[in-house]
């Protein structure tokens, strides 16, 4: 185990090794997938809110499966199962901070699929410089609710045999940098919003719509407000305009009274 941990650190796949790395592997045969259940961890202790742990997610004895993040924790790095398809789901009440791992990526293993699902809660990926989906394997982001924050988002690294896909139906993805999509990458956005703070990235994002790498949104759904760039698909945009319009009508009626 020590040799593998040292190798991973040298390759930059995880951050600095903690003194007590934690393995999620359904050790206690709990019958649930909850991150908060201490019996699912090898040492009987889940990662702490201020922890410095490297976390290894190998559900169901490494055959793959689901881990549901349902409490508050901070980790240095996350290594995903290489033997089976694995999904990390952040649910309502889950608040995960991912701090210093270099190049955090879902979909690093050829022939395997790694999935991140945001069903609620928050995920703050401070590691970088890119948070990516799809390298040698398949990486999938399901953004249904909650808040995902990071610096730069990459969907597909153009690695042969790999691909990245993001499906955004709700919630917010907030970037302090930009989003880039590779040749085998796809973003399908039918709800929610993506915000790039402090940058005008409309030309690149509209180019992805034209090339078919972004679906579900039209060119007019990408706009720069003078400070930030937004991608908000039409139904949400219409709802926003309707809300603003309703407010304007109400103000007008008040003024006419």
Residue with tokens 């409309």: 202
pLDDT at 256: 30
Question: Are 164 and 185 within 8 A, CB to CB?
Answer: yes
- Separation between Cα atoms, residue 164 and residue 154, nearest integer Å: 8
108, two tokens: 């690093």
In this prediction the pTM is: 0.85
pLDDT at 49: 93
Over residues 49-75, the pLDDT tens digits come to 987 889 999 999 889 999 999 999 999
- Separation between Cα atoms, residue 216 and residue 168, nearest integer Å: 9
Question: Are 42 and 21 within 8 A, CB to CB?
Answer: no
Give the helix, strand, coil percentages of the chain, each rounded to 5: 20, 40, 40
Question: Are 229 and 196 within 8 A, CB to CB?
Answer: yes
Over residues 174-223, the pLDDT tens digits come to 999 999 999 999 999 999 999 999 999 999 999 999 999 999 999 999 99
Residues of the chain with pLDDT under 70: 1-21, 235-257
- Separation between Cα atoms, residue 135 and residue 122, nearest integer Å: 24
- Separation between Cα atoms, residue 133 and residue 185, nearest integer Å: 9
Cis ω before 129 (30° cut-off from 0): yes
Total residue length of the chain:
257
Question: Are 24 and 57 within 8 A, CB to CB?
Answer: yes
Question: Domain boundaries in the chain?
Answer: 102-256
Strands 130-133 and 163-168: unpaired
Q: Strand ranges (DSSP E) for 62-134?
A: 65-69, 72-80, 86-90, 95-98, 105-106, 113-125, 130-133
Tell me the longest C-alpha to C-alpha distance in the chain.
78
DSSP one-letter string for 141-186: EEEEEEEEEESEEEE----TT-EEEEEESSSEEEESS-EEE-TTEE
194, two tokens: 């993506």
pLDDT at 236: 52
- Separation between Cα atoms, residue 118 and residue 151, nearest integer Å: 17
How wide is the angle at C-alpha 195 spanned by C-alphas 190 and 152, nearest 5°?
110
């Amino acid at each position: 185990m020590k040799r593998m941990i040292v190798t991973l650190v040298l390759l930059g796949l995880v951050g600095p090794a903690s003194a007590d790395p934690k393995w999620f592997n359904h050790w206690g045969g709990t019958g649930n997938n909850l991150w908060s259940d201490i019996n699912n961890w090898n040492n009987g202790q889940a990662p702490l809110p201020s922890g410095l742990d490297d976390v290894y997610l190998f559900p169901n004895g490494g055959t793959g499966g689901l881990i549901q993040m349902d409490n508050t924790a901070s980790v240095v790095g996350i290594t995903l199962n290489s033997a089976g398809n694995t999904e990390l789901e952040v649910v309502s009440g889950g608040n995960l901070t991912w701090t210093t791992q270099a190049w955090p990526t879902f979909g690093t293993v050829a022939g395997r699929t790694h999935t991140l699902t945001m069903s609620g809660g928050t995920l703050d990926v401070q590691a970088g410089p890119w948070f990516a989906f799809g390298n040698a394997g398949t990486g999938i982001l399901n953004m249904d609710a909650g808040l995902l924050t990071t610096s730069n988002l990459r969907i597909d690294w153009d690695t042969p045999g790999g691909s990245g896909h993001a499906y955004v139906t709700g919630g917010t993805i907030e970037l302090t940098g930009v989003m880039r999509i590779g040749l085998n990458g796809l973003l399908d956005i039918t709800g929610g919003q993506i915000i790039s703070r402090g940058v005008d990235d409309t030309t690149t994002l509209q180019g992805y719509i034209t090339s078919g790498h972004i679906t579900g949104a039209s060119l007019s759904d990408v706009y720069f407000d003078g400070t930030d760039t937004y991608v908000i698909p039409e139904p949400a945009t219409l709802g926003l305009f309707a809300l603003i319009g309703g407010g304007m009508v109400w103000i007008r009626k008040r003024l006419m009274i």
